[in-house]
A and B are shown apart, each in its own frame.
Chain A
């Protein structure tokens, strides 16, 4: 079966712009969570959606937002990009246990 699909794989944006990343979970998985990975801070939880509702949120500023659609696909948006937002953004989908990650979107802010 298909895994977790994240698009695009790579993005280059300018400081101040906004960006939208997409995540398609494994078929049947209703939970999608998002993580930011940087060399300095490691993997940090952004937020999680279940059945179109945000169920949990990490300690990130309001510039980071997300949503989930009725088909469980999820998007995250970062507004007013800062240089420090450069990172690998990962999403994971889950049915109950065993969160499965996608390959991530590498965002570079210049």
Chain B
């Protein structure tokens, strides 16, 4: 397979702090990127996306940054809440044939 999921990195933050989750993507030709949140027992939930012709995109409490030079994607969550605790995945695609390539995921733990 093309997604390697080994030991899951963990980020632990205090409620109210900002969180930054990082992702290194694999294909310099990828032109569309998505961040997903997955809670236990559920499927991945869409958070925010960005196209390769953009460097930054903002949503409600979330911002995605794309650095194509170093193939790096980050997700910033403002004022992190306990409900944000989950595993976060980045995904990349050439937008061809629905083939998403996922990163290994980062587990976010929010301490009240």
What is the interface of chain A, defined by CB distance below 8 A to chain B?
Answer: 4, 6, 31-33, 35-36, 38-45, 48, 50, 55-56, 58-60, 90, 92, 94, 97-104
The B interface is mostly helix, strand or loop, or mixed, namely loop
The A interface is mostly helix, strand or loop, or mixed, namely strand
B99 and A40 form a contact (CB under 8 A): no
Query: Which of B32, B46, B100 lies in contact with A45, CB distance below 8 A?
Result: B100
Task: Report the minimal beta-carbon distance from A89 to chain B, rounded to whole angstroms.
Answer: 10
Closest to A90 in B: B43
B4 and A42 form a contact (CB under 8 A): yes
What is the interface of chain B, defined by CB distance below 8 A to chain A?
Answer: 1-6, 32, 34, 36, 41-46, 49, 89, 91, 95-105
- Interface contacts (Cβ under 8 Å), in number, total 88
Given the complex, which residues of B lie within 8 Å of A98, measured CB to CB?
A: 34, 46, 49
Given the complex, which residues of A lie within 8 Å of B49, measured CB to CB?
A: 97-98
Given the complex, which residues of A lie within 8 Å of B6, measured CB to CB?
A: 40
Closest to A104 in B: B43
Given the complex, which residues of B lie within 8 Å of A103, measured CB to CB?
A: 41-43
